[in-house]
Amino acid sequence: MAELLRLDLEIVTFKEEFDPIYVYYKRGDEDPIPIYCHKREESDTQEVYEALRNMMFVLSFHPRHSALKQMRKEVIRFS
């Protein structure tokens, strides 16, 4: 999704395996906002994608995230 929206993507891995896996949205030096949590349960790609899309859409209405407002149509188009 980050690539489709032309957002920077950073993957952080640890030596140890952690449960659960979190996905964050971060703008500049601001604190990261968790937008998805995967608890290593069975889930299909579509379910994960929909959860990410829904959170990005909701964030696009927040005044602090005006950059996402400009991408709102792109986020919805992916549904």
Give the relative orientation of helices 66-77 and 45-59 as an angle to the nearest 10 degrees. 140
How far are the Cα atoms of 11, 15, 21, 26, 57 from residue 71, in angstroms, in the given order? 22, 35, 25, 15, 9
User: Model-level pTM greater than 0.85?
Assistant: no
Q: Beta-strand (E) ranges in the chain?
A: 21-25, 33-38
The answer to the question of residue 15 being in a domain is no
7-29 pLDDT, tens per residue?
Answer: 777 777 777 776 777 888 887 78
28-63 pLDDT, tens per residue?
Answer: 788 888 888 877 677 777 787 788 888 888 888 888
Structural domains in the chain (count): 1
The answer to the question of residue 30 being in a domain is yes
The answer to the question of residue 5 being in a domain is no
Note the pLDDT of residue 46.
78
The answer to the question of residue 10 being in a domain is no
The answer to the question of residue 47 being in a domain is yes
Q: Which range of residues forms the domain containing residue 37?
A: 21-77
